Structure 1
Amino acid sequence: MDPLTPPQDHWLRMEDASAIGAARRIAIALAKAGGFDEERTGRVGVAVSEAASNLVKHATAGVMLIRSHPEAATTVEVVCVDEGPGMADVTAKIQDGHSTSGTLGIGLGAISRLADTWDVDSRPGRGTVLCMSFRVPGSVAAGTRECGLYRPVGEEVACGDAFAVRDEGGTVTAIVCDGLGHGIAAAAASTEAMRVFRSHAGTSPGEIVTRVHEALGGTRGGAVAVVHVDRAARTAAYAGVGNISGWIVRADRRQGMVSVPGIAGHRARGVREASYDLPDHGLVVLHSDGLTDRWSLQTYPGLLTHSASVIAGTLLRDWAVRRDDACVLVLRAEP
């Protein structure tokens, strides 16, 4: 599979009814661009409208991400995130006719039938993360074992954080870059890092980071980390410069992976690559310093059983620093 750069992400604040129509229009436009036929495009529109309506009516600080999937233009991916009130029994809410807040709870029921894949995690008092995807029948299914999410700070259009993934089934290689500062100049540094990553397929993490360091000399530079996961061998090779955080995560604890101090493109104290053993049913998580590193999956019982998209959405919702660009990448380690 070719390496992938983040698509154009559309983040919408679901604050009033006008946002429902905006979400539907963006989803339909992406579906048509991806080659969806009229019937399937309509299904995407209905499901997105249901999810958007639920956010507007019932959520607190609800936002929706709509994008072409990073691995396939023939797949539309939607991530809905809110901060409350959450649901105690998601299964009951999926049943058509179940009442919630005085309205028919048909939203999740419709979504579960219309989407090709979907997953939801909801916790009373903490909020809900709902992820769904739609694809052209017969097209290559997008991978579900990894998910990267990013968002710019404040009202910035360009995000200085970026990720890319190359999933070859038994192995997956990924990069996260945080361009220094934010805005267009930071995004230019991250874009150059993604270009170098694409140019060095099959190269070790240490070599890729070294090449990125050399290439970013003409930019403001940034922090960068690359990981190569061998799912069969249960190992991860990792190298980084600067303050990208890399973690090997299991249900009860996590282990940090080590980067060298510095700024890629300007100064780095000798790139070093290290190898780590991977646990069964574990994760590899990379994120920029737009997320604090104080998170722990122990505070989310059962979250590890959910899709990479739901896990990434939860971490971005609860641990992103509002005054900085943010990017988080979740890779499942199991074969």
Structure 2
Amino acid sequence: MEVATVRGWTHKAFAIDDPSRVGEARRHAAHAVADMGWSDVDAGRLALVVTELGTNLQRHAQGGRLLIAARPQQGEVEVIGIDDGPGIPDLALAMQDGHSSGSTPGTGLGAVSRLADDFDIHSSMPGGTVSVARVRAKRPANEVPPAAAVQIGAICLPAPHESVSGDGWAFAVHGEQVSVLLADGLGHGPEAAKASQAAIDAFALAPQGDLRETVQRLHRELQTTRGAAVCALRVDLAASAVSYTGAGNIVGRVLSGVFDKSLVTQHGTAGIQIRKPEITSLDLPEHALVILHSDGIETRWTVERIRPLLQRDPTLVAAVLLRDHTRHRDDATVVVIRRKE
């Protein structure tokens, strides 16, 4: 049976340091759905969500930014809000529909929760606030896909001053297994993007296949590119296990409230030189997260700010890691997988 591969999305970042940037983000979101056949009502909901989150950041937050990604395969647009503080002292009050500490078009976070199809938010003092909203075009009930057994949240950002990301990622769900590929093309910019996209093309040929064969296939296909660090990973929900292999500086963690294990691949670069791939396997504890990230994220990070989010939208975890541990000089990608409870 053919298994469909979902090619990962890339976010565009808007630093909300001026009211005009909110309008810029809103226009970008409108352009993203222009070719997706959205109704005026759905496009209007998206515009209000972007405006509310952006205005809230501009008025009340330090270092606020919006990240926006179109996800055509899911028929939706994702809007992520990130700031560096001061945090929301009473989140329950702030979430009440109609509550706003200033005059905004849709009266605050409660409106975002009502307008978006998915919405989750987390705030800490100190630390700041992260939120994720997704708006989907309305579809007939018989066209709505069945719920997946896993949730996957991810953020992929190009390096500063680059229009494309040298990182690429993809996933495929087959039965009770999900396979994920994360590739980091050497350097950044268009040539790095060519390498990572070649890796995704090779992965998509047989995403459910043996992981060692997958990495060997990637190595062959990337020999006409500058090469990439790669990690191919599989989560088997039925067996409660994680297996992975790869080469280069893609790293990750499997963590829960009582478990924390790093994922490290062998040295090498797909397309240039790798050793024979070896698979590492470990148990997947209950309520655990599986996290992969490129070297645009610091390798050493603590889990204190992650543990409160174990049962939340995995994109919030990606947002916290990006906010607190990005290197600010390279493409940065975080992919977070959790079993859907």
Give the alignment's TM-score, normalised by structure 1: 0.93
Counterparts of 2:207 and 2:300, CA distance in 1: 33
The answer to whether the 8 Å contact 2:240/2:283 transfers is yes
Aligned position for 2:327: 321
Q: RMSD over aligned Cα, in angstroms?
A: 2.0
How far 1:88 sits from its partner (Å)?
Answer: 2.6
Distance 1:308 1:169 in 2: 21
1:224 to 221, 227, 230: 230
Question: For 2:178 and 2:260, how far apart are their aligned partners in 1?
Answer: 20
Alpha-carbon shift at residue 183 of structure 1 (Å): 1.2
Counterpart pick for 1:42 among 29, 41, 44:
44
- The number of aligned residues is 333
Q: Secondary structure at the match of 2:304?
A: helix
Whether 1:65 aligns to 2:71 is no
Aligned-pair distance for 1:262? 0.8
Q: Is the 8 A contact 1:280 1:334 kept in 2?
A: no
Instruction: Indicate the residue corresponding to 2:83 in structure 1.
Output: 82
Counterpart of 1:108 in structure 2 is 109
Instruction: Say whether 1:274 aligns with 2:275.
Output: no
* More off after superposition, 254-263 vs 183-192: 254-263
**How far is the alpha carbon of 1:64 from its aligned partner?**
1.0
Equivalent-residue separation in structure 2 for 1:157 and 1:271 (angstroms): 33
Match of 2:190 among 184, 200, 211: 184
Change (3 A) 1:71 1:315: farther
> Residues 169 and 76 of structure 1: is their aligned pair in 2 closer, same or farther, counting only changes over 3 Å?
farther
Q: 1:25 pairs with 3, 18, 27, which one?
A: 27
Task: Give the deviation of 1:160 after TM superposition.
Answer: 1.0
Gap change, CA 1:262 and 1:157, over 3 Å in 2: same
1:140 aligns with 2:144: yes
1:106 to 1:168, Cα distance in 2 relative to 1, 3 A: farther
Which residue does the alignment assign to 1:240?
246
Structure 2 residue identity aligned to 1:10:
K
Which residue matches 1:56?
Answer: 58
User: What is the aligned partner in structure 1 of residue 336 from structure 2?
Assistant: 330
Q: Give how far 1:200 is off.
A: 1.7
Offset from partner CA, 1:108-163 (integer Å, 9 cap, x none): 01101101111001112211111011112225358670022111221111211111
C-alpha separation in 1, matches of 2:285 and 2:292: 16
Q: Output one character per residue of 1:211-233: Cα deviation in whole Å (capped at 9) or x when no partner.
A: 11111111111210010111121
Deviation at 1:298, TM superposition (A): 2.5
| CA distance in 2 between partners of 1:98 and 1:237 (Å) | 46
| CA contact 1:209–1:239 (8 Å) conserved in 2 | yes
One-letter identity of the residue aligned with 1:87 = I
Q: What is the one-letter code of the residue matched to 2:87? A: G
Contact 1:234/1:333, CA 8 A, preserved across alignment = no
Moved more, 135-144 or 275-284: 135-144
Aligned with 1:167 (options 154, 173, 177): 173
* Native 8 Å contact 2:306 2:320 kept in 1: no
1:289-332 CA-to-partner distances (Å, cap 9, x unmatched) read 11112223234441212111111111111111112211111011
Over 3 Å counting, the alpha-carbon distance change for 1:137 and 1:254 in structure 2 is same
Superposed CA offset, 1:7-47 (max 9, x none): 35322111111111111112223334322211121111111
- TM-score normalized by the length of structure 2: 0.91
- Would you say the 8 A contact 2:36–2:72 is kept in 1? no
Amino acid in the other structure paired with 1:89: D
Structure 2: gaps (5+ residues): none
Where does the alignment leave 5 or more consecutive residues of structure 1 unmatched? none
Aligned mates of 2:340, 2:136 — CA distance in 1: 24
Could you tell me how far 1:286 is from its partner in structure 2?
A: 0.7
Counterpart-to-counterpart distance in 2, 1:93 and 1:222? 44
CA-CA distance at 1:97 after TM superposition: 4.9
* Structure 2 SS opposite 1:150: strand
Change (3 A) 1:134 1:98: closer
Matched letter for residue 95 of structure 2: I
Deviations 1:50-89 (A, max 9, x none): 11111111121111111222741x1111111111111132
1:128 counterpart residue number: 129
Counterparts of 2:27 and 2:168 in 1: how far apart (Å)?
Answer: 26
Identity %: 37
Paired AA for residue 24 in structure 2: A
Match of 1:67, SS? strand
TM-fit CA distance, 1:283: 1.0
More displaced, 83-92 or 220-229? 83-92
Partner of 1:134: helix, strand, or coil? strand
